[in-house]
Structure 1
C-alpha cells in the first residue's frame, strides 16, 4: 500500500506522527479488506511536499496578517479540526470541558472524529498512537452496531448513557467501557465478544491526554477573535493548494527528464511493487493533489507501472481533466463516440471519495469511465484536511472495497 499525501505537507516531527498514525489506521481497518496478512504488508508514504512550493517571503502576500505570525506554510490538521469544532466554545454554547459532550449530543460519531483526528497533535508517543488505533476499531464497531440496531434514531436513543455524563473525560471513559469487546469480523460486520480491558489507553499517554489537549486548545481559542482563527486556516489551505499545484505543473518535467515530485512518487511506487507478495494487490491511497500526481504518473510518466486499486480522496482529478491539465489529456474528448475518458489500463479499480463539505473534492465518475464515486457524509468543516486521520474514513472505504464494483 502506498499513501500519497496532498498539499501542504512538509517534513518534520508532526508529519511523521501523522504518517505513522495513518499507517496504523490503514493496518487495522483498510488492509484487512484487501490483504490476507495486513500486519506484514509493506506501507509506503513518499514525502513529495518538500519538493513543492516554498514561499520566498514566508506568505507575506497573504492579506490580513503580519509577517511574524505566518510561521509554517500551512496550519496543522489538528488546528484546523479544533478551530472548526470549537466555535461553540467561543460563542458560549458550551464550556471547554464539554466540547466533545456537546458534539456527541448531536452525533457521537462527530465527537469520536474530533477525538481521534486530534491524536497525532496531542500524543507524541508511538506506542500510545498504536494502542489508540486499535481502540478505534472497537469504538467504530460499537458505533456501527448501534446504527444497525437504531437506524433512524438519534444519539440519545442509540447511546442513552450520554445523558448521565458531565464532561469530556467522563465521555471518553464511558465510551471505552461501552465499546469494550466490539470488533469487526473479516467481512466487515461489527460484532461483540469478550475481550480483555485495555487500561493503558486511559493513562496519561492515551485518549484522556487528548481530552486535556483539546481543553487547552478550547480555552486558547475562546480568547481569540473569530476572524483571527478562521481566516488563517482558510487562507493557509487555499495558499497551500495553489502553491503546490502551480509548482507541480511548472516543474513536473518530461518523460525523459521528470521533475523531482514525479521522481519521488514514482520511486516509491516502484519500491511498493517490488515488495508486494505473489497475488497481493498494489493499493494506492492518494489525497488531494496526490491524486493528480498519481494519475499524471500512471498515464504519462510511468505507464509501465500498474496499480490494482486506486483510492483518490478529496482530490481534483476529475476537474483537472475537465481543464485538460494532464499530459495525457485529449482535447477531443468528450465527443459523440467517447463521452468519457477511458479508464487507464494502468488502473485496475478506481474508487473516488468526496465529501460535500470539502470545497477541494471533485467527482471523477462523470469524466472517467469505470470510476466509482463515493460520498462520505462527515458534515465537518475540516473535511478536506481531516479525512486520513478519521478511523471512520478507513472503515467505510474498507467496506466499499469488500463489495463488488
Structure 2
C-alpha cells in the first residue's frame, strides 16, 4: 500500500517547495493515512515542476510601471478590497471549518514543529468533536458563541475552554494560543493596492501558465512520453498496492492523461483529485484520449481507476466537477473558507481526516 501525491502548477524545487512538501507529508502521515486505515504506508511525492523550461528572456514580457501610458495616468491609489468573512461568522455555522480556515493562516515558514503539531492536534480534536455530534447546532455545543464579538475572543475562548481534553487551560501567554491568535489577526486581509497586487501576481501567474502550456506541448506520445509523464508514471508504477493517488490542480490532469492514454495498464485503487480541472479539460477535449463527438455520453473511467473521488470548493475558481462528465466519478464539496481557497485544502487537518475516511470507504 502506498500514497502517491502529484502536485499542481507553480511548484519548483528549492527551500520553499521542500518546506511545503514536509508539512504536507506530516499531515498525510498523521491524519490522512490513519483515517484511511493505512498508518505507516509509504508516501511518494514526485516533483515534476522542475522539468518545465524556464522563461527564455527571464519574464521580460511582464508589464512594467515604466511602460508609456496609452491615455491619462491612472490613479495608482485605487484599491481592491477583498473582505473575507470573519472566523466568528464561519464558527457559528461550523467551528471545525473555522479552525481549518484559521490553520491555513499559520505562516508556512513557521519552523517550531512541536508547536505546529499542537496546533494541528487542536484543529483535529475540534473536528472529531464535531463529527461525533453532527446534528447538534453550534450554539448548543458552544453556547458562548453568541457572547464573543471578535475573532480573537473566539480563539481565546475556544482554547481556554475546550483544549486540552484533560481539562487544563491554555490562557494568554501560552505559545499555542499566541500562534493561533497571530493567525486569526491575519485572517481578514487588509486592502490590496491594485498596482502592487498586479506586480506581485504577474510573475507567479506567468509561471503557472508556463506549466500548463508546456506540459500540453511537451507531454509526448505513448511511445515516447515526455519527462513529466514518465516521472509520474514511474512513481505510480513503483508504488505498492493498494495504490492511492492524490492529485492537486494540474496534477489531476496529468494523472488522468497518464491513466487514460499513456499507461492504461496502471492500477490506481483510489484516485483523489482536489481543486482540479479534469472535468473542464475533458469538456474542451484537451486530453490525448478526449472525444470530440458532441453526441457522445459520459466518458467511461480509464480501466485502471477503481474509485474516483473529486473535491470541489465553490470558492476555488480553479476547481471543477467531474461527475457530470465521467461515469462512475463522485464529486464532494468542501468549504475551505480560506481567502485563497485553491491552495488551502491540503493545509487543513480536517480536510485530510475527511479524505482519509472516504479512502477507507472506497477500499472496504
Shift of residue 6 of structure 1? 0.9
Is 2:233 aligned against 1:272? no
Separation in structure 1 between the aligned mates of residue 136 and residue 26 of structure 2, nearest angstrom: 29
Deviates more, 1:250-259 or 1:48-57: 48-57
Shift of residue 292 of structure 1? 0.6
Contact 1:21 1:130 in 2 (8 A): no
Q: TM-score, normalised by structure 1?
A: 0.73
Contact 2:278 2:320 in 1 (8 A): yes
Separation in structure 2 between the aligned mates of residue 134 and residue 197 of structure 1, nearest angstrom: 15
Shift of residue 380 of structure 1? 4.2
Alignment of 1:159-174 (within 5 A): 159-162=142-145, 171-174=154-157
- In the alignment, which residue of structure 2 is the partner of 1:7? 9
Higher helix share: 1
Contact 1:2 1:272 in 2 (8 A): yes
Separation in structure 2 between the aligned mates of residue 27 and residue 122 of structure 1, nearest angstrom: 20
The secondary structure found in structure 2 opposite 1:148 is coil
Work out which of the residue numbers 182, 186, 211 in structure 2 matches 1:244: 211
Separation in structure 1 between the aligned mates of residue 250 and residue 169 of structure 2, nearest angstrom: 38
Separation in structure 1 between the aligned mates of residue 341 and residue 201 of structure 2, nearest angstrom: 12
Shift of residue 290 of structure 1? 0.1
Separation in structure 2 between the aligned mates of residue 231 and residue 158 of structure 1, nearest angstrom: 44
Is 2:352 aligned against 1:382? no
Separation in structure 1 between the aligned mates of residue 276 and residue 290 of structure 2, nearest angstrom: 17
Is 2:246 aligned against 1:285? yes
Alignment of 1:28-107 (within 5 A): 28-35=30-37, 37-38=38-39, 40-52=40-52, 54-63=54-63, 87=83, 100=87, 104=91
Separation in structure 1 between the aligned mates of residue 99 and residue 291 of structure 2, nearest angstrom: 44
- In the alignment, which residue of structure 2 is the partner of 1:315? 276
Separation in structure 2 between the aligned mates of residue 57 and residue 159 of structure 1, nearest angstrom: 57
- In the alignment, which residue of structure 2 is the partner of 1:212? 182
Cα gap change, 1:116/1:207 in structure 2, threshold over 3 Å: closer, same or farther? Answer: farther
- In the alignment, which residue of structure 1 is the partner of 2:310? 352
Shift of residue 48 of structure 1? 1.1
Separation in structure 2 between the aligned mates of residue 369 and residue 376 of structure 1, nearest angstrom: 21
**What RMSD, in angstroms, separates the aligned Cα atoms of the two structures?**
3.6
- In the alignment, which residue of structure 1 is the partner of 2:105? 118
Contact 1:147 1:158 in 2 (8 A): no
Separation in structure 2 between the aligned mates of residue 162 and residue 260 of structure 1, nearest angstrom: 53
- In the alignment, which residue of structure 2 is the partner of 1:21? 23
- In the alignment, which residue of structure 2 is the partner of 1:128? 115
Separation in structure 1 between the aligned mates of residue 356 and residue 235 of structure 2, nearest angstrom: 23
The secondary structure found in structure 2 opposite 1:11 is coil
Deviates more, 1:163-172 or 1:318-327: 163-172
- In the alignment, which residue of structure 2 is the partner of 1:261? 228
Deviates more, 1:51-60 or 1:378-387: 51-60
Give aligned pairs, total. 348
Cα gap change, 1:342/1:163 in structure 2, threshold over 3 Å: closer, same or farther? Answer: closer
The secondary structure found in structure 1 opposite 2:239 is helix
Q: Which runs of 5+ in 2 are unaligned?
A: 68-79
Q: Residues 175-233 of structure 1: CA distance to partner in whole angstroms, max 9, x if unpaired?
A: 2344446xxxxxxxxxxxx658697xx854x4633533664x589x64x6442565467
Q: TM-score, normalised by structure 2?
A: 0.80
Separation in structure 2 between the aligned mates of residue 132 and residue 156 of structure 1, nearest angstrom: 23
Q: Which runs of 5+ in 1 are unaligned?
A: 68-83, 94-98, 182-193
Cα gap change, 1:128/1:267 in structure 2, threshold over 3 Å: closer, same or farther? Answer: farther
